[in-house]
Amino acid sequence: MIEGKIRLETSALEKTVFTDVKWTDFIIGQILMNSVKYRSNEPKIEIYGLQNQNGVTLMIADNGIGICKKDLGRVFDKGFTGENGRASVKSTGIGLYLCKKLCGKLNLGLSIASTESRGTVVSIVFPRSNMFE
């Protein structure tokens, strides 16, 4: 992030969640690495929390090159790199596949939204009392 001169903004991160710290660290790391890899001009990453009735959500938003409509539905598939990934040598299309699998095991929600003009937002949902279900 320093090399890419990426501006980082964080807010509303005071909530505490109960989950597996190592795997969550891996998941967030993969998402951030994507935001760095697929950055655009004047790159910025915003990380913020949202609270709702069902739990808390961690949002990671970048203003990078975005994901085209036809690729968006497939980014969690194993080995899928899409147009962005094909243009980069450092793409294996495994990162988000692993994130999705891990979120399934941890009972976390994972979703992605993107437009080519505004960048990409990934949200991780930490549901209330997931460990007891």
3-class DSSP assignment, residue 47: strand
The single residue among 45, 95, 122, 124 that binds Mg ion, judged by CB under 5 A, is: 95
The single residue among 43, 57, 91, 126 that binds ligand ATP, judged by CB under 6 A, is: 91
Site size for ligand ATP (CB under 6 A): 25
Q: How far is the CB of 67 from ligand ATP (least distance, A)?
A: 5
Q: Which amino acid is at 62?
A: D
Q: Is 34 in the site for Mg ion (CB under 5 A)?
A: yes
d(CA 80, CA 100): 13
d(CA 106, CA 10): 24
* Helix H or strand E segment including 126: strand 119-127
The single residue among 6, 24, 34, 57 that binds ligand ATP, judged by CB under 6 A, is: 34
Q: Which amino acid is at 25?
A: D
Footprint of ligand ATP on this chain (CB under 6 A)? 30, 34-35, 37-38, 62, 64-67, 71, 75, 80-82, 84-85, 91-97, 120
